[in-house]
A and B are shown apart, each in its own frame.
Chain A
Amino acid sequence: MKVIAQTGALQEALALVGGIVATRTPKPVLQCVKLVAADNVLTLMATDLEVACRYQITAVEIAEPGEALVPADRLNGIVRESSDEDSLTIETEKQTVHVRGTGSHFTIFGYDPGEYPAVAEFGDEADLQISSSVLSGMIAKTLFATAKVHSHYAMSGVLWEASGKKLQLVATDGHRLAQAKGALSKSVKSSATAIVPTKLMSLIQRVSSDSEETLEAKFSENQMLVRSARVVLVSSLVQGNFPKYDDVIPKDSTRSATVNTTRLEHRLRQAALLTNEESRGVKLSFQGEQVTLSSRAPETGEAEVTCPISYQGDPLEIAFNPQFMIDALRVCETDEITLEMGAANKPAIIRSGDDFLYVLMPVDLG
């Protein structure tokens, strides 16, 4: 293999690809990135056996097609430190890789490319298409609510449900549930559901953060593939059954409060200052046109702050974990949110526009 590639393009590619390669693995082969040069494209492949990616660089000149398997951190380092070079020549000689600049020559000992796990190709037909900014926003609204503890595997990912022209993402950890809705660019042929690992979700966010483009996604029985202009991301899906989340969303809320998002978030942060490990709850007392947030940390002190709201319903005292509320308020894009509640021991709903819904279990302060 012999290719001449622009340093900038290589740097950009390796920054993403290098982040996927498993940093801690007993197999040296898995710490590598695979380079494939063919048809005027240099493809970089990486996997950590859960997620994988193919990154295509077109700003290359391929003198001789071929394959190479190179330790990712070394190649990344060399390319990063070669910012003063316009282009780098990568040439293989059996399993050894030579990287040449105008005044530099690096030799890296690689491995047999045949020993690298295959990274699936996207193929032609996509199951769904969505704008990258819409998807990125939806991911931000759900990703934080996934379960981080072991034992609930199905909840460790985000549920994707696509039907018609709509996509819905749902994440829950048993204490709260976040649901975001978005529009697809084109309606799907048949509805699709899958539980997608958080690792892939954050990668999609990284890929779609810098530019506005249309992303394509495809589901197979075990895998999900996402394609942007240059990158294809592949991930195994999470196995298992996602909880029946529809039953958790309360339908009979008798009280509702509309409140300014940033103001409530600010007040919550203030009230949360005087909570501790044992009493991680902030009590919200709704009465008239204001809500009083109060907290108490044993042997430390108490806090009481008020916040104006517009409220319908009988007075109510209810307590929440402030962090869980702040998490949701932070990702709301609307100026105002609606809090819907039934009773002090029933779950409450935070709504922000039509696209975001958040179910939150109250805490019992005794």
Chain B
Amino acid sequence: MGFFADIIGQDSAIEQLRLGISSGRMPHAMLFAGPEGVGRRTTATALAAALLCENTSEKAGKFDACGTCASCKLIQAGAHPDCRLIYKELARFHENQQVRNRKMQVLGIDVIRSFLIDAANQASSQGRGRMFIVREAQLMNDAAQNALLKTLEEPPDGVTIVLCCTSVERMLATIRSRCCLVRFAPLPRDFVATRLRDADVPGEKAEFWAAFTDGSIGRAMRLSQGDLYEIKRGMIERFSSLPPAGDVEYGSELAKIMETLAIKAVSEQKKADGSELAKTLASRRAAGTMLRLIAGAYRDALVLLAGCEQTLTHADQTEEIRSLANRFSASQLAGILEDLSECERLLWRNVNPKIVWDNAVILCASASRLRI
């Protein structure tokens, strides 16, 4: 991983960065904004590699790292002393025990202070500048963002800070105004589907994930691994045939599915890069994905009612979608969609997952509005 030449589909962002480097007027603080899994961190790493490389070359007028020098190798190994990745799970490695034991749902001020601000005030070890990449910057709380302001505005010599975030709006206005914004666009659906098929994901499955993830190759790749597709098929079948009175068992089944997915996500994260994922956060993310899968079906039903068949997300289960469309009116479907998104918000507000899932089932069975 990790060179400009390897990044596909983000031409305008990369052009913007290359222009900055070659003109010698590289911004010292940048905000990489775009959906999850479209290559923000890969690009940031590539930028670090290019800035720190011992013999950067201009291949065919394109500035890039060489990929063979000691610096490039260290970047690929993630052990470059001048390229640091900042993420909320770094709290596990904080010198203070209290910080280590804290739940890691936000990117807190302690992590920002000791791993970014303090580290930025040391001179670079190889003299070619230093790079700090903040992953999931939208999870920084206000205190952390405020602590970062001074360093963002006037970083020590040679320091470049890249904040990767999903939505610019989640950042404080004071952070936004101090950063150069680089936007990352969602990738075309066909492109994602082709890449999935190249990675040996069967056709129908590939089409579905490409449609579901809105052009995020990273999310599509991740979701298409494992048995989430089969779980999704099961869920849509079950929801399309729910009796109007609801199903008493199904709520707890869904809660169990959520738990299983969360546990799997935690262990996968551990295997992938050794970092820890908080269990609560994992189960909320799993719930978010499940709710979006379910909502996708009702959205498709609404699309069908509107007389359009081309843009269905669940194109592989058209029969089930049709039965949903026959059962509910357009306004009922819209109500369900609204309340399903409310369910996700409730989970983030620490409402008992079992209660939320029971209510989601009742809601989807009868289209009666949510009452929590």
Q: What residues make up the interface of A, taking CB atoms closer than 8 Å to B?
A: 24-30, 47, 49-50, 112, 114-118, 120, 150, 153, 156, 197, 220-223, 236-240
**Please, how many angstroms separate the alpha-carbon atoms of A122 and B284 in the complex?**
52
The answer to whether the Cβ of B275 comes within 8 Å of any Cβ in the partner chain is yes
- Chain B residue numbers with a CB within 8 Å of A29 are 77-79
Contact A115 B73 (CB under 8 A): yes
- Chain B residue numbers with a CB within 8 Å of A114 are 70, 73, 77
The residue in B80, B89, B119, B122 that gathers the most chain A C-beta atoms within 10 A of its C-beta is: B122
Of B81, B123, B127, which one neighbours A239 at CB under 8 angstroms? B123
| A226 CB, nearest partner CB in chain B, Å | 16
What are 30 residue pairs bridging A and B, where the CB atoms are less than 8 Å apart in the complex? Answer: A24-B92, A26-B89, A26-B273, A27-B77, A27-B79, A28-B274, A29-B77, A47-B81, A49-B81, A50-B119, A114-B73, A115-B73, A115-B79, A116-B79, A117-B74, A117-B79, A117-B80, A117-B81, A118-B126, A150-B117, A150-B118, A221-B123, A222-B124, A223-B125, A236-B124, A237-B122, A238-B121, A238-B123, A239-B156, A239-B157
- Chain B residue numbers with a CB within 8 Å of A221 are 123, 127
The answer to whether the Cβ of B256 comes within 8 Å of any Cβ in the partner chain is no
The answer to whether the Cβ of B190 comes within 8 Å of any Cβ in the partner chain is no
The answer to whether the Cβ of B153 comes within 8 Å of any Cβ in the partner chain is no
Given contacts A150-B117, A236-B122, A237-B122, contact A26 B275 (CB under 8 A): yes
**Please, how many angstroms separate the alpha-carbon atoms of A197 and B77 in the complex?**
27
The answer to whether the Cβ of B90 comes within 8 Å of any Cβ in the partner chain is yes
Given contacts A26-B89, A153-B118, contact A237 B78 (CB under 8 A): no
Given contacts A26-B275, A115-B77, contact A238 B122 (CB under 8 A): yes
Nearest opposing residue in chain B for A194, CB measure: B123
- Chain B residue numbers with a CB within 8 Å of A117 are 74, 79-81, 125
B residues 108-155 in Cβ contact with A at 8 Å: 113, 117-119, 121-127
The answer to whether the Cβ of B94 comes within 8 Å of any Cβ in the partner chain is yes
The residue in B121, B124, B275 that gathers the most chain A C-beta atoms within 10 A of its C-beta is: B121
The 3 A-B residue pairs whose C-beta atoms are closest, nearest first, are: A115-B77, A222-B123, A153-B121
**Please, how many angstroms separate the alpha-carbon atoms of A120 and B126 in the complex?**
9
The answer to whether the Cβ of B191 comes within 8 Å of any Cβ in the partner chain is no
**Please, how many angstroms separate the alpha-carbon atoms of A27 and B126 in the complex?**
20
Chain B 53-95 against A: per-residue CB contact (8 Å), 1 yes, 0 no? 0000000000000000010011001111100000001101111
Contact A223 B74 (CB under 8 A): no
| B74 CB, nearest partner CB in chain A, Å | 6
- Chain A residue numbers with a CB within 8 Å of B274 are 26-28
**Please, how many angstroms separate the alpha-carbon atoms of A30 and B119 in the complex?**
16
**Please, how many angstroms separate the alpha-carbon atoms of A30 and B90 in the complex?**
14
Nearest opposing residue in chain A for B276, CB measure: A26
**Please, how many angstroms separate the alpha-carbon atoms of A156 and B273 in the complex?**
33
Of A30, A118, A156, A237, which one neighbours B123 at CB under 8 angstroms? A237
| A203 CB, nearest partner CB in chain B, Å | 15
| A34 CB, nearest partner CB in chain B, Å | 11
- Chain A residue numbers with a CB within 8 Å of B121 are 153, 156, 238-240
Of A24, A25, A239, which one neighbours B122 at CB under 8 angstroms? A239
Known: A30-B79, A118-B126, A236-B125. 16 other contacts (CB 8 A): A24-B93, A26-B89, A26-B93, A26-B273, A27-B77, A27-B79, A27-B274, A49-B81, A117-B125, A153-B121, A222-B127, A223-B123, A237-B123, A238-B121, A239-B123, A240-B156
- Chain A residue numbers with a CB within 8 Å of B80 are 117
Contact B78 A27 (CB under 8 A): yes
| B18 CB, nearest partner CB in chain A, Å | 27
**Please, how many angstroms separate the alpha-carbon atoms of A308 and B54 in the complex?**
66
- Chain B residue numbers with a CB within 8 Å of A25 are 93
Of A26, A220, A236, which one neighbours B90 at CB under 8 angstroms? A26
The residue in B74, B79, B119 that gathers the most chain A C-beta atoms within 10 A of its C-beta is: B79
Nearest opposing residue in chain B for A197, CB measure: B122
| B121 CB, nearest partner CB in chain A, Å | 4
**Please, how many angstroms separate the alpha-carbon atoms of A285 and B278 in the complex?**
58
| A54 CB, nearest partner CB in chain B, Å | 14
**Please, how many angstroms separate the alpha-carbon atoms of A49 and B132 in the complex?**
14
- Chain B residue numbers with a CB within 8 Å of A156 are 121
- Chain B residue numbers with a CB within 8 Å of A236 are 122-125
**Please, how many angstroms separate the alpha-carbon atoms of A25 and B127 in the complex?**
23
| A191 CB, nearest partner CB in chain B, Å | 19
Contact B113 A150 (CB under 8 A): yes
Contact B94 A24 (CB under 8 A): yes
| A244 CB, nearest partner CB in chain B, Å | 19
- Chain B residue numbers with a CB within 8 Å of A49 are 81, 125
Contact A50 B122 (CB under 8 A): yes
- Chain B residue numbers with a CB within 8 Å of A239 are 121-123, 156-157
| B94 CB, nearest partner CB in chain A, Å | 7
- Chain A residue numbers with a CB within 8 Å of B157 are 239
**Please, how many angstroms separate the alpha-carbon atoms of A29 and B76 in the complex?**
12
Chain B 265-278 against A: per-residue CB contact (8 Å), 1 yes, 0 no? 00000000111000
The residue in A26, A28, A221 that gathers the most chain B C-beta atoms within 10 A of its C-beta is: A26
| B152 CB, nearest partner CB in chain A, Å | 15
- Chain B residue numbers with a CB within 8 Å of A26 are 89-90, 92-93, 273-275
Nearest opposing residue in chain A for B113, CB measure: A150
| A22 CB, nearest partner CB in chain B, Å | 8
The residue in A27, A221, A239 that gathers the most chain B C-beta atoms within 10 A of its C-beta is: A239
**Please, how many angstroms separate the alpha-carbon atoms of A116 and B126 in the complex?**
14
Nearest opposing residue in chain B for A49, CB measure: B81
- Chain A residue numbers with a CB within 8 Å of B79 are 27, 29-30, 115-117
**Please, how many angstroms separate the alpha-carbon atoms of A169 and B73 in the complex?**
38
**Please, how many angstroms separate the alpha-carbon atoms of A114 and B74 in the complex?**
8
Nearest opposing residue in chain B for A28, CB measure: B274
| A45 CB, nearest partner CB in chain B, Å | 13
Nearest opposing residue in chain B for A111, CB measure: B77
Contact A115 B74 (CB under 8 A): yes
**Please, how many angstroms separate the alpha-carbon atoms of A223 and B127 in the complex?**
9
Nearest opposing residue in chain A for B114, CB measure: A150
- Chain B residue numbers with a CB within 8 Å of A116 are 79
Nearest opposing residue in chain B for A120, CB measure: B125
Nearest opposing residue in chain A for B78, CB measure: A27
**Please, how many angstroms separate the alpha-carbon atoms of A27 and B77 in the complex?**
9
| A76 CB, nearest partner CB in chain B, Å | 20
